[in-house]
Amino acid sequence: MTLIVVAEDEDDIRALVVRILRRAGHEVIEAADGAAALQDVRERHPDVLVSDIDLPSMSGLELCDAIRADAATADLPVIFVSGSLVPGDHRAADVRATWLLPKPFLLGDLVACLDRALTVGHHDGQPPMACP
């Protein structure tokens, strides 16, 4: 079973993402802010992180940067699910995020993106790939 940390501060969106991923057969840990997500990543060693960018206490960008800076988590696939990125925005590439899924998204797109992340993993040195 795949272990996923979901970092999303909007309760409704987090509940939806968690429900989709659990129905797809995954174990999910929920975090309402970036600092809690980082703690979960360090303690639970998930297979994937699914994160919003705009999070309290530590942004998704800061979260991804901290993950990449730690040798124990540097290869963790990071999927940004966000409405904050616009074409030409290089912030996700700067922190070496793996995948990008823009909000709003179709439910199947999230599952397809996760499947792709699990298959390909983290492709360090490459710009983030768009999902699905």
* Token digits of residue 102: 């823009």
Residue spans per domain, the chain? 3-130
Chain segment 63-120, per-residue pLDDT in tens: 999 999 999 999 999 999 988 877 677 888 899 888 888 888 888 899 998 988 888 8
C-alpha separations of 111 from 5, 65, 84 in Å: 14, 24, 20
Residue whose token pair is 């999070």? 55
Superfamily of domain 3-130: Response regulator (3.40.50.2300)
Q: What is the pTM of this model?
A: 0.93
Rounded Cα distance, 19 and 17, in Å: 5
pLDDT of 102 reads 87
pLDDT for the residue numbered 105: 87
